[in-house]
Amino acid sequence: MIREGRVSGGYDQLMKITRKFLNMSRELGRPGNRLVILGEGNTSAGVNDETFLVKASGTQLEHLNEDQVAHVRFDKILPMLDESLSDEVIEERLLAARVNEKGLKPSVETTFHGWLLRQEGVNFVGHTHPVEVNKILCSDAAPLFAENRLFPDEIVCCGPKSLLVDYVDPGSQLGAAIRAGWQEFTRDHGIAPKIILIRNHGMIAVGLRRNRCWCLPSWLPRRRRSSTVPGPRVRLCLCPRRRCSGSKIGWMNTTGRNN
């Protein structure tokens, strides 16, 4: 539930951002895109320096409406990244972060959304579980997928590399892991990542505009399909070398497991 509350920016601006946020969320949740299943995935958008919007817990991106959007405060969310909290306390803190105390509970992954929206050039965040991408993220090929590019346009769209984060249970611990990975990535490469890949979980796309958050998840499955040969078992090789035996990756069946 959206309410202006005692924050700067004005109601008209809030509703403009809300409309963009809902359009992005519904596009990511469209079944034909194969980016999420049922209640999977979550999205967020910055409102101003004080607050942001995030998908409410238990809702579906495809049908997200204004009443299913949580309007939360940065200063209530960000401290959770540095605290060890029980599930009960996390739920209490998420509820306490709402601008409108009658609104729905924010997503359990609100902490990483809040932190990412504080980074330069990030106004929108889209977290999805693309079927084709997760086939790789659930395999030993994940590092090569994150570090190599197959097409020139992919570098422009997705950046020269993606940030790869090991699996962590959703919540403030995942938020802390993403923060640490982002900081290390920017220190090592001199640029921020455009895409965050989470092993055995999914991906996060960030951008100044909402279209970045649905274009990037749509691009990676295309790349995944372009790097395989149809059949019950496909050979996947993302090595930058022109000729490669594929011995480091081997054969991958359609479930994404290495054999």
pLDDT of residue 124: 96
Q: Enter the tokens of residue 49.
A: 């320096």
Per residue of the chain (259 residues), give pLDDT as tens: 555 444 455 888 899 999 999 999 999 999 988 888 877 899 999 999 999 999 999 999 999 999 999 999 999 999 999 998 999 999 999 999 999 999 999 999 999 999 999 999 999 999 999 988 898 999 999 999 899 887 787 788 888 999 999 999 999 999 999 999 999 999 999 999 999 999 999 999 998 877 666 566 565 555 555 444 333 343 444 444 434 444 333 333 333 333 3
| pTM of the predicted protein model | 0.82
d(CA 17, CA 86): 33
pLDDT for res 258:
34
Domain extent listing, the chain: 11-230
Determine the Cα–Cα distance for residues 97 and 36; give it in Å rounded to an integer.
26
Q: What is the dihedral of CA 103, 109, 113, 114, to 10 degrees?
A: 70
Q: In the prediction, which pLDDT does 213 show?
A: 64
Q: What is residue 9's predicted lDDT score, i.e. its pLDDT?
A: 58
25-60 b/e with 16+ CB inside 10 Å = b?
A: bbbbbeeebbbbeeeebbbbbbbeebbbbbbbbebb
Instruction: Report whether 104 contacts 137 (CB < 8 A).
Output: no
| Residue 76 CB contacts under 8 Å (≥ 6 apart), including other chains | 93, 96, 97
152 vs 249: CA distance, rounded Å: 23
What superfamily would CATH give domain 11-230?
A: Class II aldolase/adducin N-terminal domain (3.40.225.10)
Give pLDDT, residue 103.
94
The amino acid sitting at 11 is: Y
**Rounded-to-integer distance, Cα 161 and Cα 145, Å:** 9
